[in-house]
Amino acid sequence: MDNDIYFSNYTLDPETYYFLYIGELKCYGLNLFLRDMFARTMNRPVAFISVIPDILHQYNYSNIMVISPMLEQLRAISGNRICFRTEPGRFMEAVSTHPAVHELIDRILEHQDHLYINMYESDPNMTLDQRDRVSILGPDKELARKFNNKMVQYEMLRDKIPVIEFEICKSMSDLLFRSEQKRQQWSDGIFVSKVYSAAGAASGITHSQADIVHLFGAEDCIYLMSRYIPHEFDPTVLAVVANEEDVYIAGVADQNIEDGNRFVGSSWPSVLPLDIVHELKEYTRVVGRELGRRGYRGIFGCDYLVDRKNNVYFLEINARKQGTTLEFCYTLEQALPRAVRPCPSWSTMPLFPALSLKIPGNVPMTLFPCTGEPITINSSRPVQLAVTSRKIPTNGRRFTRWPRASCSRILSSSNISVPG
């Protein structure tokens, strides 16, 4: 199985406390926050070793091991000039049984009592936690799998928050039959998705039966079919379930969606009116409590749409870290006081205090948007800050915003205060 190891550069120091990150390279940066959390509780240096599926030409990261069960097969086809990422389930299965990974765990446990594994998404294919003294941080992997199923989500929430009209189709023939019956009634289009899908994959907006066949072929599986609602805003809310009642809201951002359903990133903070943002947060707390009462603990996200009449509709739960969780963490790190700055291992924390930024009454505040040009404003009311290049009409008002580049340094002022 050594042929499955593409690259390795980790070193072990017996004086250092280690945890493992197993997942895609794109989330490597989240481990820096987790390392800082461990450093506050351990009386020794802390580091992490990353086991990743990303096959690249070079790596500018320390302490990584790159594994892929497809490596030998693809090398036979393309030689050494390959670049790809192994599918998550297959990667987790390979890592869980790989002798080199087990040897690494054995060596780490020689010098510490327990080993924690951090993952982008809790996955039932990951079985290393079956070993003694090894635990996975984050949501329970079986519950995460259950609540990432869109059929489970929609049926759980249909009477709790506004959910788009939908039907569950048990097969391709059932999908084709039901969608044909709904075409005239759902005239703006029918959104079709497999019950497991993310970032626009395995889903699409359809306007005919031919569209469905083009997207999915004859694949026989369970599908979610819902009425497509024309809209401009696709907000997403990042949150944490602490227990059955307490749900911490990290923030609300606007997803950037291309081609109707392809996610390409998010913009923070949301440009939606504050009453809509409040509504999104409340719906997400309802979702979090439903998850909590069913045993789920840890980070999750909720996606919504806001139609042209400012009606909010639930779209999906992501029972995992989201694609922009890293950016949320960097942004919160800049915005919050040092004493309460978060780390992404929110699943290990009991509850976070509710914090908000406000501008003191009638005190000039200097903002440094990404253009680098300071703007001074006076206000006696809380001000919502955003950065972009266009004007968006909302409720008859127009919100002018700056060109967007990065969220990490939106705010820079000694006049920002945190209540309480």
Backbone angles phi, psi at 224, to 5 degrees: -100, 125
Residues 91 and 117 both lie in one domain: yes
Is 303 buried (19+), middle (13-18) or exposed (0-12) by CB count in 10 A? middle
Residues 170 and 249 both lie in one domain: no
Residue 128 to residue 23: CA distance in whole angstroms: 13
DSSP single-letter state for residue 354:
P
132 Cβ neighbours under 8 A, 6+ residues apart: none
Q: Which residue has the tokens 């009425």?
A: 227
CATH number for position 307: 3.30.470.20
Residues 213 and 239 both lie in one domain: no
| Residue 409: inside a domain | no
At residue 1, the pLDDT reads 61
Number of domains in the chain: 3
Threshold 0.85, pTM exceeds: no
pLDDT tens track for 86-124: 888 899 999 999 999 999 999 999 999 999 999 988 899
Instruction: Return the number of other C-beta atoms located less than 10 Å from residue 289's C-beta.
Output: 17
Residues 7 and 131 both lie in one domain: yes
| Residue 354: inside a domain | no
At residue 213, the pLDDT reads 94
Residues 48 and 116 both lie in one domain: yes
Going from the C-alpha of 5 to that of each of 2, 70, 144, the distances in angstroms are: 5, 10, 28
| Residue 328: inside a domain | yes
Sign of the four-CA dihedral 241, 238, 141, 127: negative
Residues 344 and 242 both lie in one domain: yes
Residue 114 to residue 109: CA distance in whole angstroms: 7
At residue 205, the pLDDT reads 92
Using the 3D structure, point to which of 209, 227, 245 is the last residue of a domain: 227
At residue 347, the pLDDT reads 41
Task: Yes or no: say if 96 and 125 are a contact pair by the CB < 8 Å rule.
Answer: yes
Residues 110 and 184 both lie in one domain: no
Residues 13 and 82 both lie in one domain: yes
Using the 3D structure, point to which of 307, 329, 348 is the last residue of a domain: 348
Residues 48 and 98 both lie in one domain: yes
| Residue 178: inside a domain | yes
CATH number for position 172: 3.30.1490.20
Instruction: Give CA torsion, residues 323, 327, 333, 334, to 10 deg.
Output: -160
| Residue 371: inside a domain | no
Residues 184 and 61 both lie in one domain: no
| Residue 399: inside a domain | no
At residue 22, the pLDDT reads 95
pLDDT tens track for 312-362: 999 999 998 887 787 777 777 776 666 555 544 444 333 333 333 333 333
| Residue 211: inside a domain | yes
Q: What is the mean pLDDT of each run of 10 residues along the chain (420 residues)?
A: 84 96 90 90 93 90 90 72 81 94 97 94 92 93 94 96 96 96 95 82 89 91 95 92 92 84 80 95 97 94 94 95 78 66 43 33 34 36 33 34 30 29
3 three-class SS: helix
Using the 3D structure, point to which of 174, 198, 227 is the last residue of a domain: 227
Q: What is the extent of the structural domain holding 267?
A: 232-348
Residues 271 and 216 both lie in one domain: no
Residues 105 and 210 both lie in one domain: no
| Residue 66: inside a domain | yes
